[in-house]
Amino acid sequence: MRAAGLDHAVAVGLSGGADSLALMAALVAEGHEVLALCVDHGLQDGSRAQAERAAEQARTLG
C-alpha cells in the first residue's frame, strides 16, 4: 500500500456479500480510507456482474 501512496488506507476484499460489505461499512464509519478489491474471477456465470455490483456498492459506501 505504501508503494501506491496509500500509507493509511485499509484494503478489503469485497465480494459483495454481507460480511465484506459490513466490514467495509464499519471501516468507513470509523473514518478509515478503504481500498475495496473486487475481482472478476470468471469461474461462474454472472461473475462479472457480481464484481460490478460489488464495485458499485463500494462506491456507494465511499
Q: What is the pTM of this model?
A: 0.76
Would you call 54 helix, strand, or coil by DSSP? Answer: helix
Question: What pLDDT score does 30 carry?
Answer: 92
Q: CA 6, CA 26: separation in Å to the nearest integer?
A: 19
Asked whether residue 26 carries a pLDDT value surpassing 90, the answer given is yes
CB of 62 within 8 A of CB of 28? yes
Whether 54 and 15 have beta carbons less than 8 Å apart is answered as: yes
Q: Which three cell numbers stand for residue 49?
A: 456482474
Is the pLDDT score of 28 beyond 90? yes
